[in-house]
Structure 1
């Protein structure tokens, strides 16, 4: 195992089982980030167990806040912490990087570079690296209130459906009528009864054309050019694609597909399908929460 900063070590499962070395390094707390790991010395160290596989599609960012709290708490008590996975290359490195990012305001690249200087063999999978970048983009605040994180969770649910044929852990956009209406650049209302449906943060725009688009959570690149995950508004499309919303029938029940109707007047607005659907422009959107533009009013408001 290797000391990354004072009191914080990263290592493998072999390091966790090496009691003499743990004592030599004055380890008091052990954070295990592996699948169904059984602690070697549960009565001699303070453990925290995170069961997760080293796979790009795993949601590791959800554990960053509690892991950061465990590490910082141990260090504040004057203890030393070992963060380990099986090989000490991917999961443990990512958890340590997230801690450094939050503590020192680092980018994902800066944090991983700092760790690699002390432990050269680290090699996080691409999915985990993307989630570290997302962590930076949401200012280290892992909350569904953050649009980028919400998009990540929606995409994660869609991937779970493709893999297992069911939807779990759905995060839906907050009904705009149940929260204080802040000034927004874009408000969508039912054309028939004028009930507010979605705001700017709930809308997924896309470029017209063939190909596939998934709900994504990456921002524009440093030059300001469009990345594959940044979509300008396309007025040519006959439908508007949005996030799943609290007011949509069947969302909380995990329905794979259903009609979308106005929750106030029941006017037919469109439909949704977690497997995706094609826009009139030819683009395939996954998942698809599609509202027809001729059934809504889109209002532009000036920010105060």
Structure 2
């Protein structure tokens, strides 16, 4: 008794009280008096998520946090794929609609002050054939390339679902092509697979919503100007 669930609760409490701790160091601290403490892998993953969210203290803060919303969405997708079907139309979540927040983890974790502006330019991705805007770097889904830093960039840009994909994703298929939303163009710009896709770097990304780098142009936008004219 007290090996997994109660240890998880205690780790969460310690994280909320001491910003210098992380889930592993908190577990090591507990093991000094309870050596057999061992949260299961699922609980540890959730503790890492809680720590990355900076330990929200209220249910509202938790529910509204982009990292938590993404985690819930991934669980929904995984449940659908496990049943051999695509997510229901009512479950689809498009990152550029309503109150949705871009899924770029750097912005979510607060490393960029979105009100004062950022010195880091945003990158726009446009159809190479007709120049129709498709996405910006705010909607990229980060992953951990397995290649070394000197390797070529990944051949795929992984995205959160965006509204221009709606007509394709609402067909209920597990995978398929993504075409430029400009009806006069219709160029194939990428692919999707709810069950996930293996990137050219070797990393598996779930769900897989990708643009092919060879099918898009990348345009660096100017940094936004902050208060007082400072960048």
1-side partners of 2:144 and 2:18: how far apart?
Answer: 35
2-side partners of 1:145 and 1:123: how far apart?
Answer: 28
1:300 to 1:161, Cα distance in 2 relative to 1, 3 A: same
**Alpha-carbon offset, residue 125 of structure 1:** 0.9
Equivalence for 1:291: 211
1:139 to 1:179, Cα distance in 2 relative to 1, 3 A: closer
Is the CA contact 1:187–1:200 (under 8 Å) kept in the aligned structure 2?
no
Cα RMSD (Å): 4.1
The one of the two structures with greater contact order (alpha-carbon pairs below 8 A, sep at least 6) is: 2
Is the CA contact 2:12–2:47 (under 8 Å) kept in the aligned structure 1?
yes
Q: Does 2:181 align with 1:260? A: no
Structure with larger Rg: 1
CA deviations on 1:153-181 (whole Å, 9 max, x unpaired) are 565455434533245565543359x9899
Which of 197, 202, 218 is the matching residue for 2:140? Answer: 202
Equivalence for 2:79: 160
1:150 to 1:123, Cα distance in 2 relative to 1, 3 A: same
Aligned residues: 193
Give the gaps of 5 or more residues in structure 2. 57-61, 103-113, 224-230
What is the TM-score normalised by the length of structure 1?
0.48
**Alpha-carbon offset, residue 137 of structure 1:** 2.4
Q: Does 2:93 align with 1:93? A: no
2-side partners of 1:299 and 1:144: how far apart?
Answer: 29
- Match runs of 1:185-224 below 5 Å: 185-191=122-128, 192-204=130-142, 207=145
Bigger proportion of residues as strand: 1
Is the CA contact 1:172–1:244 (under 8 Å) kept in the aligned structure 2?
yes
What is the TM-score normalised by the length of structure 2?
0.60
